[in-house]
């Protein structure tokens, strides 16, 4: 079930949404930065992730949404449920 519209049709449809989305991002970041104590947010890991998310947006690719999802995901350790995994871990499947 691929897209039945061409890129121009799709872009015409989403252009204003993208523009509005960028404004929400810009205004939200401005609001953080003009608030008292804005400098501590620079050390907040969540702010760093948002910066990485913005880099994903400006990069190439057909799966930017998936990349953003992975960026905001807890790490997973494969084999967590096998006999050699640490069964006593408080957080099974953690990458730590």
Partner 1 sequence: MYFFDPHVHMISRVTDDYERMARMGCVGVSEPAFWAGFDRGSVDGFRDYFRQLTEFEPTRAGWSGVQHYAWLCINAKEAENVELSREVIAMIPEFLDKPGVLGIGEIGLNKNTPNECTIFREHVELAMRTNELILIHTPHLDDKYKGTRMIIDMLLEDDRVDPGRVLIDHVEEHTVGLAREEGFWCAMTLYPVTKCTPSRAADIIEMYGDERIMVNSAGDWGPSNPTAVPDFIMELRRRGHSESKIKKIVYDNPIEFFSGSERFEFTPPDVFRENAPTGVDAG
| Binding residues vs partner 1 (CB under 8 A) | 1-5, 13, 63, 65-66, 69-70, 72-76, 78, 80-81, 89-94
Nearer to partner 1, 18 or 23 (CB): 18
| Least distance (Å) between residue 8 CB and partner 1 | 14
In the block, residue with structure tokens 């099974």: 92
Least distance between partner 1 and beta carbon 88 (Å): 9
| Nearest by Cα to 54 from 75, 73, 69, 68 | 68
Question: What is the distance between the alpha carbons of residues 89 and 72, in angstroms, rounded to a whole number?
Answer: 22
Q: Closer to partner 1 at the Cβ: 20 or 70?
A: 70
The SS3 call for residue 73 is coil
């Amino acid at each position: 079930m691929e897209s039945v519209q061409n890129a121009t049709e799709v872009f015409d449809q989403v252009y204003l949404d993208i523009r509005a989305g960028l404004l929400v991002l810009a205004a939200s970041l401005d609001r953080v930065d003009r608030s008292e104590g804005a400098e501590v947010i620079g050390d907040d890991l969540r702010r760093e992730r948002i910066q990485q998310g913005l880099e994903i947006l400006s990069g190439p690719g057909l799966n930017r949404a998936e990349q953003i999802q992975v960026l905001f995901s807890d790490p997973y350790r494969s084999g967590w449920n096998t006999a050699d995994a640490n069964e006593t871990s408080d957080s099974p499947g953690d990458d730590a």
